[in-house]
């Protein structure tokens, strides 16, 4: 570039020198003016040629020129070629990315910060019925009108996926996951989980049907066992011991069947079929007395901290089942002379119920799985506690049906706290007094 610039300067200097010598020879300044004017006209023509070349779309052949202008054209042409190669590479990457997304069986939808459709793949056209001519730029909620989907997007909590029927086929179940990026933009990925949904429904139906069918023979068996125990002579100690063990196991099986039936009902029916202003203090006070009776041989100290006028809009039977499971668990896993605290309080976020004990505690690694059916951190306690392994699963489903959540904190050898959080819309009034 420096060499070209030096040549151009020398060329201008030579032109001026030649024009000046000619002007001296003829005794007039017009040769100098003609030389300078000619150079200006030539440069102006080069400038117009550059403009014409730049406004063309192809930029294929630059204008012919010499000197600094020729070097300038050459460098510009190299820059344009480099830009074209970069654009081609970028378009190739975009094309391959689109091909990859379109090859997916999962639905991929991109919406902007206002909720308008920007892009979708071929799977979305098949599963959602999208039409590029009509739907591009439309609000997504205008095309997927399911109330749960609209509420899911407006809530903005995408930690858990959403399952709804396909807009074009009610027999297909789609599971949506939402990822936020950029400034309010969202990427929606949906997959067909119809088969899994049917398998899950078959499992629920099987458990419910088997549990229901077991209820009648268990009742008959328990009736005969009770009759035999009542009529058996005291001297037949060995037979009595065997019958008592059978009776204990039948009681345990009956409790298991009852919990399975309750869990099946919680999963298979609509929430809030019964809504009442439940007097929480009376319910928990009754549960406290029952817990003291159960733990009489352990000498537990059970504290109750609940406002007298605390009330909650809920299904009373489901609420009693959830609270009863948590209190019973605390009694089972708290050693003799331990303390159990039952507490209820309200704040701006809603109502909260907690059961705290200073029992054996739970390894934090097990906490995420505690609400799974039949999951036990330590199988050696099954015989000792006699539980069904379904209590916390029931509590979780009751909380889901009441728009709440279950929180578990625990530490080995120091105890556990199980807290039920209810939303503020289920409150009836603020408490005014506290009783223990």
Q: Does pLDDT of 90 surpass 70?
A: yes
Map tokens 């010499």 to a residue. 66
Look at strands 301-307 and 339-347 and give their pairing: parallel
Whole-number pLDDT of residue 21: 67
Q: pLDDT (tens digit, 9 = 90+) per residue, 392-433?
A: 889 999 998 888 999 999 888 888 999 999 998 888 765 444
Q: pLDDT (tens digit, 9 = 90+) per residue, 248-277?
A: 888 888 888 888 888 888 877 776 666 788
Whole-number pLDDT of residue 9: 60
Whole-number pLDDT of residue 411: 85
The greatest distance separating any two alpha carbons of the chain, rounded to the nearest whole angstrom, comes to: 155
Name the token pair of 178.
């939402």
Mean pLDDT, range 275-294, rounded to an integer:
89
DSSP string spanning 3-20? HHHHHHHHHHHHHHHHHH
Mean pLDDT, range 115-140, rounded to an integer:
86
Q: How far apart are CA 71 and CA 79, in angstroms?
A: 13
Which residues does 231 contact at the CB level (< 8 Å), separation at least 6? none
Whole-number pLDDT of residue 430: 52
Q: pLDDT (tens digit, 9 = 90+) per residue, 298-342?
A: 888 889 999 988 899 998 889 999 999 999 888 888 888 889 999
| SS3 of the chain: helix, strand, coil, percent, to 5 | 55, 20, 25
Q: How far apart are CA 418 and CA 329, in angstroms?
A: 10
Q: pLDDT (tens digit, 9 = 90+) per residue, 231-243?
A: 888 778 888 888 8
Q: Does pLDDT of 353 surpass 90?
A: yes
pTM: 0.63
Whole-number pLDDT of residue 86: 83
Q: Are residues 288 and 304 in contact, defined by beta-carbon separation less than 8 angstroms?
A: yes
Q: Which helix (H) or strand (E) holds 107?
A: strand 107-111
DSSP string spanning 317-356? HHHHHHHHHHHHHHHHHSPTT-EEEEEEEEETTEEEEEEE
Q: Are residues 270 and 148 in contact, defined by beta-carbon separation less than 8 angstroms?
A: no
Give 4-7 contacts, CB < 8 A, sequence gap 24+: 4/67, 4/68, 4/71, 5/68, 7/67, 7/68
pLDDT over 70, % of the chain: 81
Q: How confident is the model at residue 285 (pLDDT cuts 50, 70, 90)?
A: very high
Query: Is the backbone of residue 388 left (phi > 0), alpha (psi -120 to 50) or beta?
Result: alpha
- 48, HSE (Cβ side, Cα atoms, 13 Å): 5
Length in residues, the chain: 436
Q: Does pLDDT of 278 surpass 50?
A: yes
Q: Are residues 415 and 362 in contact, defined by beta-carbon separation less than 8 angstroms?
A: no
Q: How confident is the model at residue 211 (pLDDT cuts 50, 70, 90)?
A: confident
Question: What is the chain's mean pLDDT, rounded?
Answer: 81
Q: Does pLDDT of 192 surpass 80?
A: yes
Name the token pair of 237.
């100690």
Q: Does pLDDT of 57 surpass 70?
A: no
Whole-number pLDDT of residue 435: 46
- 285, HSE (Cβ side, Cα atoms, 13 Å): 12
Q: How far apart are CA 284 and CA 290, in angstroms?
A: 10
Q: Are residues 355 and 417 in contact, defined by beta-carbon separation less than 8 angstroms?
A: yes
Whole-number pLDDT of residue 422: 93
Q: Does pLDDT of 4 surpass 60?
A: no
Task: Look at residue 423 and give its three-state secondary structure.
Answer: strand
């Amino acid at each position: 570039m420096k060499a070209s610039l030096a040549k151009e300067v020398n060329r201008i200097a030579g032109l001026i020198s030649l024009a000046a010598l000619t002007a001296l020879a003829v005794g007039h300044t017009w040769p100098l003016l003609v030389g300078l004017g000619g150079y200006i006209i030539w440069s102006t023509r080069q400038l117009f040629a550059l403009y014409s070349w730049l406004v063309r779309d192809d930029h294929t052949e630059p204008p012919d020129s010499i000197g600094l202008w020729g070097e300038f054209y050459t460098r510009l042409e190299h820059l344009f070629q480099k830009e074209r190669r970069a654009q081609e590479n970028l378009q190739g990457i975009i094309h391959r990315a689109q091909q990859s997304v379109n090859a997916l069986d999962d639905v991929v939808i991109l919406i902007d910060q206002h909720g308008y459709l920007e892009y979708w793949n071929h799977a979305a056209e098949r599963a959602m019925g999208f039409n590029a001519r009509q739907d591009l730029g439309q609000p997504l909620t205008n095309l997927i009108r399911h109330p749960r989907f609209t509420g899911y997007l407006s809530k903005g909590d995408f930690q858990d996926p959403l399952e709804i029927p396909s807009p074009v086929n009610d027999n297909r179940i789609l599971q949506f996951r939402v990822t936020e990026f950029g400034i309010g933009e969202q990427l929606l990925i949906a997959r067909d989980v119809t088969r899994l949904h049917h398998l899950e429904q078959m499992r629920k139906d099987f458990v419910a049907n088997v549990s229901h069918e077991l209820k009648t023979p268990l009742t008959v068996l328990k009736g005969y066992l009770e009759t035999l125990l009542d009529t058996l002579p005291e001297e037949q100690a060995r037979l009595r011991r065997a019958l008592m063990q059978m009776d204990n196991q039948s009681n345990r099986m009956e409790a298991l069947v009852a919990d399975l039936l309750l869990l099946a009902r919680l999963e298979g029916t609509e929430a809030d079929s019964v809504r009442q202003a439940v007097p929480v203090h009376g319910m928990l006070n009754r549960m406290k007395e029952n817990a003291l009776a159960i733990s009489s041989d352990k000498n537990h100290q059970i504290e109750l901290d609940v406002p007298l006028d605390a009330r909650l809009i809920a299904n009373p039977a489901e609420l009693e089942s959830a609270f009863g499971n948590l209190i019973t668990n605390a009694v089972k896993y708290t050693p003799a002379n331990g303390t159990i605290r039952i507490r209820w309080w309200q704040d701006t976020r809603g109502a909260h119920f907690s059961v705290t004990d200073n029992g054996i505690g739970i390894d934090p690694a097990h906490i995420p799985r505690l609400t799974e059916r039949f999951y036990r951190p330590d199988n050696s306690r099954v015989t000792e506690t006699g539980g069904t392994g379904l209590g916390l699963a029931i509590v979780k489903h009751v909380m889901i049906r009441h728009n709440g959540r279950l929180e578990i904190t625990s530490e080995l050898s120091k105890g556990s706290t199980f807290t039920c959080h209810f939303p503020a819309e289920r409150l009836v009034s603020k408490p005014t007094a506290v009783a223990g």
